[in-house]
Structure formats: structure tokens, C-alpha cells
Structure 1
Amino acid sequence: RYQLDWEDFDRLAGIQLKSHARIDPDLLAPRNQSSGNSRKLVHLITWFAALPLAALIAFSIYVSFFQAKETSGLKLQPALELLARIEQRTLEDGSMIEINRGAEVDVAFSKSERRVYLRKGEANFEVAKDPSRPFIVNVAGVDVRAVGTVFSIRLSEDEVDVIVTEGRVTVKPRTTSTVPDESSADSFLNVGQRARVNLHSESLAVEVSSIDETEVEALHRWKPRLLDYDQIQLGEIVQEFNKSNPVQVVLSDPSLETISLSSSFWSDNVEGFVRLMESSFGMEAEWRGSREIVLRKAN
């Protein structure tokens, strides 16, 4: 398309030359004006006459460029968000938050308490001990209170899900009326326990249950961890990445699965893994949709 626009510029130049050839300078010049001044006047008039067309072509190029750029960005945006690394945020008190992709967290510390708001998604909290300033996470009106603890919270459309992996927390649901209700009492969670609050229930009762290590590991696969491999087949490594990430890696040829690899990767760094396959193992990557990357032998 840009080539056609430049051709329009060429045609514009041709129009100017042809106009100069057709116009009789004596028709535009005053009776006592020299022919040299007549030519200058003709050139000036022709130049001004061509300005609107030139401006239109330039505007067309400008709009075409930015429309193409914007369209390209929209296509890439979902993939880039899914490839983003897990954010690890250290707070001023030394506490650390691991924020899953797409989650939103706001921090509002004061002298008396350390308050955090989980607006969306899922996060894991490793709380620095400070008995004088309780650490409180508010999520959809539910308060999760801790002192020195490790726990995760997931907010979905239907519920708040809390899992404790170290220490102890209290879960206090929001109250829907001024009348005291036993279901709104604080619930205590210890290691290996899980609390769920149904956001569509009128009582907003806290449902506490036990959870084993296998379940905890499966629910926390999104958390970044170092994967250290020594002569492990590529197929097994890809499976491990796919368990931990929304973007799935696909090997186009079964023969690629048996390639042995010795390296270390962070489990959330799919992009780094794919780039290594391209730069060091003679492969090329191709997006298939917004959630799959196909690896194949480079031509």
C-alpha cells in the first residue's frame, strides 16, 4: 500500500511538469511583466494548486501506518500478556508477594497495620513478622489476617479461596447486615488447611477443609520455581512447562522429544526457553493461535 502512495507522489510530480508545459506564461503575466517573472508566478500557482493533493496523500500514508501498527499490536497483546513473567514484589516491611499473571494488587500500609487489596486474580503472600502491625489482605470484602505467615489467595467470580502453607491466618467474611451472625465469625486456618467463601451466598460462611501436599502443589504450579535438568529429554521438559503456564509449547515432530538437554530454567519463562531452542538447537518457533507455540526443525 505504501508503494502505491509513493507512486501517487510520482504522478503528482508528473502533473506539475505537464502543467508547466501547457500553461502559456503570457496569459497570466501583466502586459508589461517580463517572461521570467511570468514563469515564477506560474510555478508558484501550480505549486499551491498541488498542495491539497499532496496533503491528502501524506495523510493517507500516516493513517495507513498507524492503523497497521495498531492492528498488529492488538494481535500480539493477548500473547504477550500470557507470556509475562510472574511478578515478585518486595514490600517496604520485607514481606514478599508473588503476583500471578493478570492479577491486580494494591498496597496501603499505615502505622498501625499493613493492608493489601487483591483486586483480581491470584497471589501468594510471604509475610514478614511484626506483631505490632498485622498484615491484612482484603479481597472482595473478605479480610485475611496474618502476622508471620505464608499463604495464597485466589479470587474468582464465584469465591475467595485461601490456602495456608506456613503459620496461621484468620479469615473474616464481610457482613451483609448489622445483626450478628455466627457464620460471619472469624475462622482460623493452620498449615494444610483451605478456606473458601462463596461470594454468591447470602450467609458468606467460611468453609474450612484440609488439603494435602499433592493438591497444594497442583494449585501452586503457577508459582515460579527453578527447573534444573541434567540430560533430560525435551519432551519431558516441555510437559513440565505446559503444566505451569497458560501458553502451551508443542513439538511438531516426535523425533524432537528425544533430544537430551542439560540446563536450568525458571518455570514461568516460556519465552526464554523458546529462544534457547531457536538459538542453540536449530529450531524455529511459530505461534498457533494465542496460546500455543509450535517448535519445529529450522529449514
Structure 2
Amino acid sequence: MSNVHPFTSKNVILENACTWVSAIDRGLSNEEKEQFKLWMLQSAAHQDAVYEIAQLWDELSVLNELSILFPQHNSANHSKSKWVVPYSIAASLFAALMVCSYLLVNLENDFGKELAKVNYTKIYQTKVGEQATYVLPDGTIVQLNTNSMLEVAYSKGRRQLLLNKGEGRFNVAKDASRPFSVMAGDKSFTALGTVFNVQRNTSSDLELVVTEGKVMITDPSVAVDANDFKAYQLADNSTQKIRQINANIVTSGEKAVIEQSITKPITQLSVDDVQRDLAWQNGMLIFNGEQLGDALNEVSRYTATRFELSSAELAKIKVAGVFRAGDVAGLLESLQTNFSIDHERLGEHVVSLKYQTKS
């Protein structure tokens, strides 16, 4: 695993366990219940994550209630916690765990039926300021950023996704018999055993960051089937087959920027670069010398607020800092404190920025 990958497998499992519990708390559709069942059956670690979180409420008799609901589950096997969970997260999940518990009954009976489902289609969406994580039927984990739309279409020989807008992180389950490709705008990104992030700015302006394995960038008309998959896995940018289809191979720790449908030279990223580009996956935005105008454009992706700058000079100020995505108040306070930039609200969703008037 690449040393630039900012997440551990335990963190991913815990993240998805929390996401499912949150979804259960609001109420699952029948289709979501089926997906949840499949996720639970993919690994004992998934089930352990739920019960290890419940360990935090030992004094609140949560484990006792779970043992009544599920007498077949041996809670003694979890006497020593394997997961480190912040208490603030755990506390918020107490009620949700009680709601989701009934869904775990008789999961084994449905396992064969779930595995038999080969074809799968669904549309996933997030609103402005919303981020969500989904587990697809093959075990692939998709994390969508703010204001994103993803169409998923699985068939017997292919896993095809379409990123209509926004940004997504894809932790792809290995399946050489069904290549995994994400189309965004006029490019297609084929996973060659990998974890990667795709951001679609426009149909011709895209960004790809690979944190594990390889990704091949091609024209959407290039179809990758199981017969070609192994050859592509072993290829690099000098391979004749890659050059014949005008493709680019991007490997772990590298970034590809596509502007006006042209793939710029691939760049190697430092660990800090990767963490900054992918900070959204942890609900944060990191700036390190970006111009204020560009930084505000990024902030605006996570909120309905728009910013008006009083001058071009103001827009070129270089800023640095760590902000929670959507925290407009925190950003405005920081600009005032560190750069003497005042703000004025011109309506519910418009903020005017200008240098502080000297008294």
C-alpha cells in the first residue's frame, strides 16, 4: 500500500459503519436495506465494527439490549475493543444502533441471493455541502463530495460508472473479470487495482489523484474488457499498446490535470500535496499559498454563499490555513484577524469583502 494513502483499512470500515448507522437512523429504503445486508456479510470486520462501537455503552446497558435482540451473537468475543472510536462519534450513534439492530437478524439466509445479483444500476447524489459514503454490491467503496451525481451500471462483464458532476473517491474491489471504469466528461478512468479520486470541474476540465495502484486515462470510446485487463495492469506510458490508444497511466502518488480535454504532464505529489488535495474526504479544506479568489471559489463548492471581492489586488492575496468545509463564519473571522479584510452581507447568500478601512 502506498505511503501517501491517508486512510487505514480500519478507518475505512469504521467510517462506513458510521455512515450506515446514520442512514439507518433516518430510515432505509428496501433497496438500501439490501445493500446494508450485503455490506455486513462481506466481512466479519464489518459486523465487529458495529459491536465494538456498542462496547462504549457498557454502562448504559447497550450490550445487554443487543444480547436480548441477538442471543446468537457472542458478545464475550469482543471483551477487548479492537477499534479506537472518539466518544463524541460513539455517543451520536447510540440511538441509531438500536434502530439498525433488527436488520442483522437472519442475514445468512439472504447471502446466496445477494451474491446472485450480477446486474446493478443506481444513481447516487449529494447536495451542496453534503458528503456521503456508499458501498457498492461488489464491495467497492465510493465517497462523494459536495454537489455530486454518480450513475452506477454493473453488468456481467463490466463495471461502468458515470460522474455527471462533482467529485468522488473510489476504493475499487478487485475483480479482473469485470473492469472498473469511471467516465467523467470526455475522459474515462479505468482502475488497474487502485484507490483514486476524480474531480469534474467541467466536461473538459478534470483532475485525477491516485493514492494506490494505477489508473489508465482514455477516451470514453476505448472499451477495456477482461481479456485486455492484465496487459494494461503490467503496462506503463512507454508501452506500445498504451501509446496506440493514446492513453495515460497514472500511478500511486501522482496527479493528472486535464484542461480543455488535454492531459497535462503527470506530476508527482508529496504526502502533504495528497493530503491537501483530498482533505475534503475528512470534511476539511487546506490552503497553502493559494490566491484568495481561488480559495473562495473552492469554499463556494460547499455552501450557497458567494463572495464578491472589492479589487483584483484583494483576489491575489495568498492565503494558508485549515478550515472545515462549509464553515463560512470561521473563514470570515480568519480573514479579518489575519489580513484585516472586512465583510458585509449583501443578502442571505452574498458576502462582500474589502480591506478594513483605516480610522
Shorter-chain-normalised TM-score: which range? 0.3 to 0.5
Identify which of structures 1 and 2 has the higher relative contact order when contacts are C-alpha pairs closer than 8 Å and 6+ apart. Answer: 2
Structure 1 length-normalised TM = 0.46
TM-score scaled by length of structure 2: 0.39
